[in-house]
Structure 1
Amino acid sequence: MSAAEASPLEVVLITGMSGSGKSVALHALEDAGYYCVDNLPPELLQPFVALQQAHHTQRVAIAMDVRSAASLPMVPEQLAALRAQGVAIKPVFLDATTDTLVRRYSETRRKHPLSRRDDADIQHALIEAIELERELLAELREQAHAIDTSLMRSAQLQGYVKALIAAPASHLTLVFESFAFKRGIPVDADYVFDVRMLPNPHYEDALRPLTGRDPAVAEFLRRAPEVLQMERQIEAFLSAWLGALAQDHRSYVTVAIGCTGGQHRSVYLVEQLAQAFSPHWLTLTRHRELDKA
């Protein structure tokens, strides 16, 4: 048996909100060696996959969006059928806040695919179109790993997508994400933990310019009993439920840890939790406020 025949076809399905960065993600996958197709009609998904299998293609990335709204409901059933055939499916859903999407459309002066052309109130029509799109894509989002691109630069999104698809499809991957509450809760979070009540290194002059990855900040937080208590309680909660999540065929679980500025406490706890779970689970870390710098 050849290597091509021995390795199952891997399909990364990119869906998400219009304006959330699907083209950027697809370019990242193309750079990573995937054969990429944009705006594939859902009716052609299974025939296209069969064709790639016949050609012994190993890695394919497909983007679908709301322009195929009428046939999107068939996609979950198609994905289940492909998995039953041994195809490794990695669904990724790109999302962003409504305010972010409105701003992006305003900056580019593009028209949302669901906007009515005869609506005089362009801003109102755009918001309505975005909310309708959320409803139409809700089932696909539920079955995919969601990525909040609201505060991401293109290069940051490309790197994050490459890190995600590098994880084996048959394993559950834990994504630990730090963030600042003052900039909003990440829309891609499965679980959110608020650690703003913990001692804050920001009020120590020597620690203020540092981050939770710096030894001095880590030592400051390590000495606080309530920080260790919080860490152990989050770890216990996740340990109790990760097995059930894996059995439910979840590919990714995003755990968001938030503090006021997203620089110290949340960063420290993300690093500690990722280290604690890495011996038994695939883990990724993301520091929203630090990574965008």
Structure 2
Amino acid sequence: MNTPAASTLVLVSGMSGSGKSVALNTLEDLGFYCVDNLPAVLLPALVRDVTGADGGGPAKIAVGIDVRNRHDDLDRVPDALAAVGEMGFDPHLAFFDAADAVLLKRYADTRRRHPLSRLGLSLPDALALERQVLRPLHKLADSVVDTSEMNVHQLRRHVTTQLGLGSEAGMSLLFESFAYRHGVPADADFVFDARALPNPHWIPALRPLSGRDAAVRDYLLAQPDVAQYYEQLRDFLDTWLPRLHRDSTRSYATIAIGCSGGRHRSVYLAECLAQHMREQAWPEVAVHHRELD
């Protein structure tokens, strides 16, 4: 896959249940301006409006287009991508797919309705029709992502490293919070344990909240141990991440932070560290809360 240019448009398409929503959410975390289910004919206008007359708007845009669009509208995608290319953007069409058996199981697990179920079709027939309708986009795609063997965390990693990142300016970072009782993320490059810190879980008013909520952040911010832990972790990453990038060919690193439930301390620290790294001008920084997302 080609490295994204300075101004990038990622068109996210594919089969329903293949992970398109996860892909768009991940790209949004990576700083993309995201719009889902946009008519293809409006794509050039969206890019024009988002970037602004002076071109000072977001340089990274992601748009979801799939079987929910009018079928005649999908025929306009090639012309829309060509128009966007003439505006200085590098368009990339990513098609997400999975085996029919996998899609059927995912629908059974989530009990969601297929977009074509409104036609009175059975789920297997709806998937067959969807494949037929999307075949032109599949052929047009710059990359086809088969998610049959991916869980949501592996999919986020793939999107992070293949669609949203890979900048020549530096290594991309993914901060992931998790609960130790559900296991340590297998793909983590660094793992830090926050279980020794004061736990908001034991405060009834804070228990149902998460580390993204202001009340939990205020509580943890007021704890000296939390402040010391954050500062030491921040200084460690500030020292060693640049060296890791300089002395290796890695384009990304995953920093996992765990606590007992994966809701409060680890989430708070992941958010704080991600914000710090953005302020340090790392090219791409994403956050994933395994137990919340």
TM-score by length of 1: 0.51
Shift of 1:9: 2.8
Post-superposition CA distance 1:148-176 (Å, at most 9, x none): 0111111110110111122479xxxxxxx
Q: Give me the whole-angstrom Cα distance separating, in 1, the residues matched to 2:152 and 2:120.
A: 33
Q: 1:52 to 1:108 in 2, by over 3 A?
A: same
Tell whether the 8 Å contact from 2:14 to 2:96 is kept in structure 1 after alignment. yes
Instruction: Give 2:79's match in structure 1, choosing from 67, 77, 83.
Output: 77
Q: Give me the whole-angstrom Cα distance separating, in 2, the residues matched to 1:168 and 1:139.
A: 30
Post-superposition CA distance 1:54-85 (Å, at most 9, x none): 15221111111211032111011110222133
Q: Give me the whole-angstrom Cα distance separating, in 2, the residues matched to 1:72 and 1:140.
A: 8
Aligned match of 2:42: 44
Post-superposition CA distance 1:223-282 (Å, at most 9, x none): xxxxxxxxxxxxxxxxxxxxxxxxxxxxxxxxxxxxxxxxxxxxxxxxxxxxxxxx9xxx
Q: Structure 2 matches for 1:257-276, cutoff 5 A?
A: none
Instruction: Give 1:146's match in structure 2, choosing from 124, 141, 144.
Output: 144
Q: Structure 2 matches for 1:202-241, cutoff 5 A?
A: none
Q: Give me the whole-angstrom Cα distance separating, in 1, the residues matched to 2:133 and 2:166.
A: 28
Query: Secondary structure of the residue that 2:50 maps to in structure 1?
Result: helix
Aligned match of 2:237: none
Tell whether the 8 Å contact from 1:69 to 1:136 is kept in structure 2 after alignment. no
Q: Which amino acid counterpart does residue 136 of structure 1 have in structure 2? A: V
Q: Which amino acid counterpart does residue 152 of structure 1 have in structure 2? A: M
Q: Give me the whole-angstrom Cα distance separating, in 1, the residues matched to 2:57 and 2:28.
A: 17
Query: Secondary structure of the residue that 2:127 maps to in structure 1?
Result: helix
Aligned match of 1:62: 63
Q: Give me the whole-angstrom Cα distance separating, in 2, the residues matched to 1:137 and 1:110.
A: 20
Tell whether the 8 Å contact from 1:9 to 1:53 is kept in structure 2 after alignment. no
Aligned match of 1:127: 124
Shift of 1:8: 5.1
Q: Structure 2 matches for 1:144-223, cutoff 5 A?
A: 144=141, 145-165=143-163, 166-167=165-166
Post-superposition CA distance 1:3-44 (Å, at most 9, x none): xxxx85311111110011111111111111111111112222
Q: Give me the whole-angstrom Cα distance separating, in 2, the residues matched to 1:36 and 1:135.
A: 26
Tell whether the 8 Å contact from 1:15 to 1:65 is kept in structure 2 after alignment. yes
Aligned match of 1:91: 93
Tell whether the 8 Å contact from 2:41 to 2:80 is kept in structure 1 after alignment. no
Query: Secondary structure of the residue that 1:114 maps to in structure 2?
Result: helix
Shift of 1:143: 1.9
How many residues in Structure 1 have an aligned counterpart in Structure 2? 162
Q: Structure 2 matches for 1:109-120, cutoff 5 A?
A: 109-116=111-118, 118=120
Shift of 1:118: 4.3
Q: CA RMSD in A?
A: 2.5
Q: Give me the whole-angstrom Cα distance separating, in 2, the residues matched to 1:155 and 1:130.
A: 25
Tell whether the 8 Å contact from 1:8 to 1:86 is kept in structure 2 after alignment. no
Moved over 3 A (4+): 116-119
Q: 1:155 to 1:86 in 2, by over 3 A?
A: same
Instruction: Give 1:137's match in structure 2, choosing from 134, 143, 149.
Output: 134
Q: Which amino acid counterpart does residue 130 of structure 1 have in structure 2? A: L
Q: Give me the whole-angstrom Cα distance separating, in 1, the residues matched to 2:129 and 2:70.
A: 11
Instruction: Give 2:29's match in structure 1, choosing from 12, 28, 31.
Output: 31
Q: Give me the whole-angstrom Cα distance separating, in 2, the residues matched to 1:66 and 1:149.
A: 18
Q: Which amino acid counterpart does residue 63 of structure 2 have in structure 1? A: I
Q: Give me the whole-angstrom Cα distance separating, in 2, the residues matched to 1:26 and 1:116.
A: 24
Q: Which amino acid counterpart does residue 134 of structure 2 have in structure 1? A: L
Identity of aligned residues (%): 42
Shift of 1:90: 1.6
Q: 1:97 to 1:17 in 2, by over 3 A?
A: same
